[in-house]
Structure 1
Amino acid sequence: MFRHRVLILGLLALAGCATESTTRTSTPARVEAARPMIAAAPVTAGPIWPASAPQIHARYAIMIDARTGRTLYQKNADVHSQVASTQKLMTALVLLQRGDLAGTLTIAREDTLVEPGKLNVRAGQTYSRVALLSAMIVKSENDAAAALARDHAGSIPAFAAEMNQVAREIGANNSYFVNPHGLPASQFSTARDMAIIAFHAYREPILRRLMATKYYTFLYADGRTRQLENTNKLLGRSMICNGMKTGFTNAAGRCLVSSATNGSRDVILVQLGSKTNYIFDDAETMMQWGLNSASPFSLASY
């Protein structure tokens, strides 16, 4: 498995996937970590904990220490919600942990039928799985997600079953997924479960690199190129942000999983169900607060 990830990193480098990257620290080797104990707050804590935290607009949120999994902040963190394209982090984990990205796939017609954000690849064209993974993470392209899922498992329902199985294995027990891209469906997760998923994604060097990539040049089968800009606006404006994933649908609202580091502490913030344009401002404010807090407070000891 380690050799497989080294090979994929080599393919990314050879392809020159990032024309500009915001990675502030070197990409670490994959870290095997115990399941994060991202526990619920004490009953007396109320829906928002701690009271000293900055106020943000998201309906559901949680911030954890990305190195230990300790909870630093939460707001309605266990309420079911659709999470839009942030669930592509779960898709990527399945592909990395159970798939073979060191090869190609041929686009099927069913892969092209998703909307709205997509590469507009055509049935019968062949692409490397790494290129499609890059497009899925950087620009959140839905046809790339559909093609990778169908190629891996044979069908979208079969892939969703793997998503749910991996979710249970890592402790995200309050989620149910039915597709790889997050378009509206009878599926749900919670801020806490998305933090668990993000905790594991943060330990994948391939994802760490892609989630911090500002621009990716996608090469089409007919020779055309298209520059894809990362949907995470924090990469272009925040010196502490080092990646993660955006999401938006009318059903889910604005969603953002973001990560930040100051060299001595790393944090992951999940925001779901925001209805304003302030989600990036809120993320920067909250992560600065988490990184600079004097004490490594936590809901529990681990």
Structure 2
Amino acid sequence: MRMRYLVFALSMGSLCTTIGCQSTYSATYHSQSTSPNARPVPTATPVPAVQAAVRLPSNYPSRPLATPSAPAPTPCCEAVCVMDALTGNVLYEHNGNTKRQVASTQKLVSSLVVLDHGSLNKLVTITTEDTKADPTKLGFRPGQQYRRGDLLHALMVKSYNDVALALARDTAGSVPRFVSMMNAKARSMGMRNSHFANPNGLPAPQYSTAVDMARCTWFAYRHPVLRSMVSTRSMEFSKADGRSVHLENTNKLLAQYSWVTGMKTGYTNAARRCLVSTGGVNGRHVIVVVLGCAPSRIWTESSKYLKWALNIS
């Protein structure tokens, strides 16, 4: 089997902004792909002692994944990337660098920008503009106030488009400025084939790739607050009018498998079904990005690559 090496440079700041610590580092990862469609990623200057430079939560995976002995499953979607969540090695990709819309999975980029700027305890005052984001909405009224952390949690669990607008406008002062911050954040994470036009993933002149979204997830997985949010199976959200809303995570894999740890769903007609999923067993964790899948296959498509990488029968 022909192996190709992918190299990408990653740099992160504000790893734990919300818990009072900050870490800035850069790293280069050499990853290999078994896909016949693999394409090289632009090369950056290597840095030594990559893993020693990365500050990880105490419960983070301690061992890299072994290269699976079995061949990778045949893809039934437009694009796939399977990445070792510790090392950043790409174990498999199919059309991994093909640009396409990624729907609400790009809210992972939005969430990282929000976490980089300001306290999660700050109150967000809703404006009329925040309410204009069909079809999936929490349902705001102008003048209502919510804690940023509560809004971000709801965004990661239920993927509300109006919540994404409210957080974007509150964080940057305007949605266009927030989008500029998203694109800057993407560049800092080595997402070289991505460009975003809104914070929620609704159809627009924007795109990313399976490999780029895996890179984003590599960073998101290292943020303890975000990891907790995306792993939430259900939650109660208190609305400003006193009502409580029960939210079930849109990621159905969380309910199906105890070893699945989160991340983010997405769907539009242009993007089709998309899912960024993460899981781990025995100290080894994996990131799987599936883009452009049929609605009837998205869960089995993602789980088969998770199981393949983690050697789960």
Task: Say yes or no: TM over 0.5.
Answer: yes
What does residue 154 of structure 1 align with?
173
CA contact (8 A) 2:16 2:23 kept: no
Indicate which of 19, 44, 48 corresponds to 1:6.
Answer: 19
Deviates more, 1:99-108 or 1:217-226: 99-108
Residue 105 (1) aligns with residue 95 (2):
no
Instruction: Give how far 1:138 is off.
Output: 0.3
The answer to whether the 8 A contact 2:32-2:92 is kept is no
CA–CA separation in structure 2 for the residues paired with 1:40 and 1:158 = 36
Structure 1 CA distance for aligned equivalents of residues 234 and 22 of structure 2: 23
38 and 109 in structure 1: CA distance in 2 versus 1, 3 angstrom threshold: farther
Residues 17-36 of structure 1 mapped to structure 2, 5 A cutoff: 34-35=26-27
1:197 matched residue in structure 2: 216
Shift of 1:48: 6.5
Closer, same or farther: CA 275–94 of 1 in aligned 2, 3 Å: same
In structure 1, what is the Cα distance between the partners aligned to 2:96 and 2:121? 37
* Pairing partner for 1:255 from 250, 253, 274: 274
Counterpart amino acid of 2:207? F
CA, structure 1 residues 65+151, in 2 after alignment: closer, same or farther (shift >3 Å)?
same
The 5-angstrom pairing of residues 217-228 of structure 1 reads 217-228=236-247
* Structure 1 letter corresponding to 2:286: V
- Counterpart CA distance in 2 for 1:36 and 1:81 is 25
Cα offset for 1:155? 1.1
Which structure's relative contact order is higher, taking Cα pairs within 8 Å and 6+ residues apart? 1
Q: 1: distance between equivalents of 2:37 and 2:287? A: 19
| TM-score w.r.t. length of structure 2 | 0.81
Aligned residues: 270
Q: Render the CA deviation track for 1:107-162: whole Å, top value 9, x for unaligned.
A: 01000011111100111101101111011000001111100000011111100000
Rounded Cα–Cα distance in structure 2 between residues aligned with 1:234 and 1:71: 22
- Aligned-pair CA distance for 1:31: 8.1
Please tell me whether residue 137 in structure 1 is matched to residue 170 in structure 2. no
Corresponding residue number in structure 1 for 2:29: 37
1:239 alignment counterpart: 258
Describe the superposition over 1:16-46 as per-residue Cα deviations: whole angstroms up to 9, x where unpaired. Answer: xxxxxxxxxxxxx99877445375759xx52
> 1:145-184 counterparts in 2 under 5 A?
145-184=164-203
Structure 1 length-normalised TM? 0.84
CA contact (8 A) 1:79 1:191 kept: yes
Classify the secondary structure of the residue corresponding to 1:124. coil
Report the RMSD for the aligned CA atoms in angstroms.
Answer: 2.3
Letter in 2 for 1:271: V
| CA 164–2 in structure 1, closer or farther in 2 if over 3 Å, else same | closer
Distance 1:38 1:59, change over 3 A: farther
- Distance in 2 (alpha carbons) for counterparts of 1:249 and 1:2: 31
- Cα distance, 1:31–1:282 mapped onto 2, change above 3 Å: farther
Deviation at 1:275, TM superposition (A): 2.0
- C-alpha change, 1:290 and 1:169, in structure 2 (3 Å) is same
State yes or no: 1:46 paired with 2:36: yes
Q: 1:68-147 to 2 correspondence within 5 Å? A: 68-147=87-166
Match of 1:13 in 2: none
Q: Is the 8 A contact 1:83 1:272 kept in 2?
A: yes
Query: How far, CA to CA, are the matches of 1:33 and 1:238 in structure 2?
Result: 33
**Which amino acid counterpart does residue 253 of structure 1 have in structure 2?**
R
After TM superposition, where is structure 1 displaced by more than 3 Å over at least 4 residues in a row?
1-4, 29-36, 38-42, 48-51
Q: Which amino acid aligns with 2:37?
A: P
List runs of 5+ in structure 1 lacking aligned partners.
8-28, 294-302
Give 1 or 2: higher helix fraction. Answer: 1
Q: C-alpha separation between the residues in 1 aligned to 2:163 and 2:185?
A: 20
Alignment check: 8 A CA contact 1:57 1:276 kept: no
Residue range with higher mean Cα deviation, 282-291 or 62-71: 282-291
Stretches of structure 2 lacking an aligned partner (at least 5 in a row):
1-13, 40-67
Structure 2 counterpart of 1:47, which letter? N
Alignment CA distance shift 1:219-1:254 (3 Å): same
Q: Is contact 1:36-1:68 (8 Å) kept? A: no
Quote the offset at 1:284 in angstroms: 1.4
The answer (yes or no) to whether the contact 1:57–1:279 under 8 Å persists in 2 is no
Cα displacement (A) at 1:94: 0.6
Cα deviation digits, residues 165-208 of structure 1 (max 9, x gap): 01111111110001110000000000011000000000011111
Aligned AA (1:229): E
- Separation in structure 2 between the aligned mates of residue 282 and residue 183 of structure 1, nearest angstrom: 23
Amino acid paired to 2:271:
A
Please say if 1:265 is aligned against 2:284: yes
1:286 Cα shift?
1.1
Between the aligned partners of 1:292 and 1:254, the Cα distance in structure 2 is 25
